Structure 1
């Protein structure tokens, strides 16, 4: 075969001409091939062909479980001319993602057998390709059958769900979760292509942008794959700096530091601009560019302060020497079929996060390593990323074939993500180190491996080798100082609130949400409360007639163990359980928002002792009752506004002096309340703080005022005078603390035990654009608690900018509605009983 000298690498996507058919198993659609989309999975191909119903509707999930028991074969033809074949010395077949267990053949010759969704594959097929048509086949085995067989081969290990997701390197939640549909997908879920090249290519490009004073150094490491032993050069361009590195004919690696005299720092949102620099790395032979790679980097220092102090061990993120209070959310795959999530959808979801005053996204370990689009957008938006390695809530075997697969996927993922300005932490697992201690695993394992090698040895060693600038924690939760001595975990308990990060789930599972105040965590990486999706999303997905909290479709779309019982148990001490489904729906959404508000206000009041909170969870992967703030159709629940309000740059909250001591709510511990002013802005906050105890009728019963100065990024506590902190009539009074436009409230009684009257509202509607934008001004005649507009009932596409607004008698509030193009403006509709919802509607 002859080749043209020094030809450039050519990437040819393999995205057309695919077909898929059921090869074996209990297929209910026959064995005839149907058109397949790549990237994609077989469920979506069957759906497009009209052969299955939408898996997300009603109980179609169980009706389609057979798909995961079938072997599916994808097939396409690669047509190549003799000229194309001869133009390059090498032709590689590349798959960015295969889900999951597959045999790959080309022209009838077996290329490889693979079994890992979380890595890419490259195969030299130069010898096999011929001029003309080349038949490519990817034959997938049933993931359910494979996982079951591997579980037996490796030894059954503890996990919270029936199917052994721990025995296969596949997204754990594709086997179902307590918020997730079980899909058991198969397919070519990321891009497939043919790469043709000569001489050499860039096998990997790793970058680290390190600031130094007012300048910086871009550290570059490039790994090469060669077809010829010829001299090469690598050119690095960043800003107005270009550097050329000559490479010997036999070298396979190149390292260099490119110095810049002046750089602007990358900052997380709320702390400055996320300045990024474009980097171009090109590989050349003589004057021909053979291959090139583009990256964007940000210059910033970061570390986690875990220096022990008098209270234990902090877990404080510091970026560019600035402590960052982490306002985070946990992220799951945004669709149970992740290939449907494109850049626009990522952009919309991450912008929603930023608009809710969030600054960190934790990519949870039971999902996937997200696409480049996700991390690109996080870099651009200044959203910090905490990335779990993909282990969740289970014991994992440390033997092959799992062991080798895990090392390969970890190497690839570290190399792919390490240059990201947004990446602040790599974490070994989700809850596995905690589970080993507290969930009865030790006796069940009876000496078998459970994953300690990965979390305490393999992963930290790989990070030290490939990306020593990236911080690492063995697990979430995790206490700094903990380790593994070969037979047991050492150091503090992994979920000790005095040390590092912790998860708080007792409130949702067994207790009530005011008991969040019994904890003083240094950092909370998971906690949350359930609530149903928006009404439009719920009724689109479930066609029960009648629709009730316990009707069949509702139960299918409630995955948590005893979920509805926990919803009711968590509501009853605060509000009465409504009799009609729409009001039940609102009650559970409001209680979800109130629970998380209580927790976040308490955690922030503890700053800097508490250095952050990460709410479970931002998003959903399908329409379901869950802990999410944004439902499976992308609509914002009341919880979203709880995050937005509690994570605002400047907040006021009112807290009991001693929340652990059980007391009559009308008589706080020691008769004391404290007002907490949090200033997370870069400028000082000063002015008059007005404190009042008022009646529900608006009458001022006692008041006081003080001048307060709150420095930038600081928290100040003010003792509330006893004349305000003790109620005369708990059922009819509250405390308000107001400072420069922010307000904190303290209620002396639970709503159900209070004299909260029916809301009396009036409204005005004004159009602000031609695309369904309106300003709605609502005036309250009496006290209205947590007023929220469920605007999806006006128009399924509508959004609103605020919620959970408490109005004192005579006050008004403006709501900006957007996207309501199909709505005919109607002031009465806005304040109708089903749209303008409040806590007032739930007390009688």
Structure 2
């Protein structure tokens, strides 16, 4: 051997010996080969995992689609049966040789008995918990895995019989699963059962890294200090391990002994001149990428990554002369929260793909929202939801999954939900998007103001309330304080409902005076709270969604399927009642659907803008609701198909970072400029009063400086100064500005239109819209123009796609360009509907 070959072999040997031997845990999903059946049947059918029994029955045509017609009524037998799932679990020799083999169920719905090789492995009773079982002693090369799911009513009836009173609203309170599956005033009764989240086999040798928590201790412009808490399980004491974190060309290494058993260790990181995470409207939602490894000698024991955003987020509650504040400070800055309440995207969660999450959250950003409230009657969302919120700069108000109910307080139940809270807080606490943990939705309000105490003795009321306190004043806040102390806890949303006069002056508010009490939309301007976390109004969904559940091409508002697709008993009556106040009431189905969406959008944007004008007194506007879980008449701004209703298009305008908003008070038009920008804005402000033929009636012009992060009254215009009837003109506001802190010369223009009178009273000219359509690489561009003002122009087609704007106004002699993003090769059926056209039709 020559010297050259010797050195080559020596280098190879050194390289080989210096490389860590891969001894990381092996993780395998157990999603293949599953079968299911009703417990009393003998025939097994193929199943999809993750999934649920409804999806599997649908796949085999054993039930009709519950989303179509009134089929929901025909599938109610499903949750009255017990169901079984089974598969063959094959393990290779390498897995069997590992010292630990663990079977993990991330979500079983709900009362499950698990058998491995016909041996009882365990039982579960909470769809929100992760269940882990050591199967080392049971595992072999070929294993049978069988899960029996017991119907929820068996447990619910048993628990209810233990009490001498009924816990409102009924049986669902005893079962820890998605509460909306029992039916809501926007959702069907689809009480699922099955394996709704992944099942995994994890095998490893003597040591395992179980959890890494990046806990932010301090954050300044010059320095971020983090504690990194990492949990290791080891079969024996080890003299030295190497825990390593790499980030931004920096390597942080901790060499330390590890104790036998499961223990949590800590190390500290410092990041100089840290980049902060911001909501997308205020800055960059910057995320640090951390690469984490754990080694024992030359053995690589763990390798994982984490994306961490550095930011401070605090809920500020301070007494003042009106009551008590309720607002969030992000990185020390008060931020007005603009957004909506989020519900599960599908009654059958397995139907929700990553693409659905991506699209919906893009729609949130596109509508200028910076916060979503994950409502407490649904689910703790999949990891992808929070990851995308982190990346896109959307804050999350996270409810624990309790809604509109009083829950039991026995030891077993309390222990169960404590572990549920531990599982979920530990899973989500690393996400920069988490802004608040909230105990429940409306439970406090319901107990005190919904008449739930009427049939209870004093002793029963005390017991029920003590159970409430045990959950929401002790277990949940203590869990958050221990595991995620950086984030505030809020007991119940709202603090006060509309029946308590304090709802307007402290805490967060759910104001359902509009809708449930049929108060006029103007109530939103008269009763502005500190933070509006729920308010809403219904409308019909898109034509596409209606065609889906009616299975008819024509659009009807009297179809039999509305028996199940309008869940509010007074829903249709209220839609019409409000429509009659503000709009002409059409007779045709498609016109009525269009008008219902305009009615919803008008009322809701009236509220959003009133709340924004009132800042900093009011610092949040989260409407009910963002999305649907099936095709339905509801409060959503995006329907089940993913189509934007008028509300979402108009919310996008009402949530712009710089908003021109007007209101008539004492026969005077008051015009405000609301700015969420963190720097002052200087620019030219114009008000133009124009009749519907384009004639200029009155003008106002000012040079303005708008303070950062505020609402500023900029103009008062007496209605009497406008020398034509309010029904014959529109006021256009325009503000062209530059940020005073900006070094560039780019200007931004904000504009808005304001009508003094109700839409139905406007003296509009007949529909007169000209269009020119051009094919593009991603769809089409549509140029629209009109000689006279055209109100609420609605474009629609059967081609699947998205209009960049819709339900907009065209000023006289104005040309507007709209893009339609679609994969369709043509949109030959493109149609236009306007308020002008509806009025013309009614007058004939």
Give yes or no for TM over 0.5.
yes
Q: Counterpart of 2:138? A: 128
Q: Counterpart of 1:803? A: 806
Structure 1: state its 5+ residue gaps: 25-29, 483-491, 658-668
Q: Counterpart of 1:503? A: 510
Q: Counterpart of 1:200? A: 207
Q: How big is the shift at 1:81?
A: 4.3
- Contact 1:691–1:720 under 8 Å retained in 2: no
SS of residue paired to 1:585: helix
> Structure 1 residues 205, 514: CA separation in 2 closer, same or farther (over 3 Å shift)?
same
**What pairs up with 1:435-834 in 2 under 5 angstroms?**
435-445=446-456, 446-447=460-461, 448-450=463-465, 451-478=468-495, 496-509=503-516, 510-543=518-551, 548-657=556-665, 669=666, 671-722=667-718, 728-740=724-736, 741-769=749-777, 771=778, 773-790=779-796, 793-795=797-799, 797-819=800-822, 821-824=824-827, 830=830, 832-834=831-833
Q: Counterpart of 1:424? A: 435
Mapped partners of 1:370, 1:318: distance in 2:
24
> Structure 1 residues 466, 247: CA separation in 2 closer, same or farther (over 3 Å shift)?
farther
Q: Deviations over 1:181-219 (max 9, x none)?
A: 211101111110111112122232222244244221232
Mapped partners of 1:156, 1:734: distance in 2:
59
1:112 to 115, 122, 125: 122
Q: How big is the shift at 1:430?
A: 0.6
Q: Counterpart of 1:304? A: 315
Mapped partners of 1:212, 1:776: distance in 2:
49
Q: How big is the shift at 1:281?
A: 3.0
Mapped partners of 1:748, 1:836: distance in 2:
16
SS of residue paired to 1:259: strand
2:62 to 35, 42, 51: 51
The alignment yields a C-alpha RMSD, in angstroms, of 2.4
Q: Counterpart of 1:142? A: 151
Mapped partners of 1:839, 1:710: distance in 2:
40
Mapped partners of 1:419, 1:842: distance in 2:
57
Mapped partners of 1:526, 1:152: distance in 2:
35
Structure 2: state its 5+ residue gaps: 1-20, 737-748
Q: Counterpart of 2:29? A: 13
Q: How big is the shift at 1:156?
A: 5.4
> Structure 1 residues 267, 547: CA separation in 2 closer, same or farther (over 3 Å shift)?
closer
> Structure 1 residues 118, 155: CA separation in 2 closer, same or farther (over 3 Å shift)?
farther
Mapped partners of 1:308, 1:842: distance in 2:
55
> Structure 1 residues 387, 838: CA separation in 2 closer, same or farther (over 3 Å shift)?
farther
SS of residue paired to 2:90: strand
Mapped partners of 1:62, 1:324: distance in 2:
45
> Structure 1 residues 809, 835: CA separation in 2 closer, same or farther (over 3 Å shift)?
closer
Mapped partners of 1:470, 1:358: distance in 2:
21
> Structure 1 residues 205, 715: CA separation in 2 closer, same or farther (over 3 Å shift)?
same
Mapped partners of 1:281, 1:730: distance in 2:
66
Q: Counterpart of 1:224? A: 232
2:39 to 1, 23, 36: 23
Q: 2:45 matched to 1:42?
A: no
SS of residue paired to 1:507: coil
> Structure 1 residues 842, 515: CA separation in 2 closer, same or farther (over 3 Å shift)?
farther
SS of residue paired to 1:623: coil
Mapped partners of 1:366, 1:265: distance in 2:
32
> Structure 1 residues 684, 763: CA separation in 2 closer, same or farther (over 3 Å shift)?
farther
Q: Counterpart of 1:257? A: 268
Q: How big is the shift at 1:614?
A: 0.4
Q: Deviations over 1:528-584 (max 9, x none)?
A: 111111101210221369753232112311112211111111111111321111111
Q: How big is the shift at 1:840?
A: 5.0
Mapped partners of 1:158, 1:642: distance in 2:
41
Mapped partners of 1:630, 1:578: distance in 2:
23
Mapped partners of 1:558, 1:227: distance in 2:
58
Q: Deviations over 1:435-473 (max 9, x none)?
A: 122112233453232422221111111111111111111
Mapped partners of 1:157, 1:841: distance in 2:
56
Q: Deviations over 1:405-448 (max 9, x none)?
A: 11000011111111111111110111111112211223345323
Mapped partners of 1:253, 1:751: distance in 2:
64
Q: Deviations over 1:719-774 (max 9, x none)?
A: 323266667523323433332343334433222233223221111222232x4x22
Residue correspondences, number: 799
Q: Counterpart of 1:487? A: none
> Structure 1 residues 314, 804: CA separation in 2 closer, same or farther (over 3 Å shift)?
farther
4+ runs of 1 displaced by more than 6 Å? 835-839
- Contact 2:773–2:782 under 8 Å retained in 1: yes
SS of residue paired to 1:576: coil
Q: How big is the shift at 1:179?
A: 0.9
- Contact 2:107–2:196 under 8 Å retained in 1: yes
* Structure 2 length-normalised TM: 0.90
Q: How big is the shift at 1:838?
A: 7.0
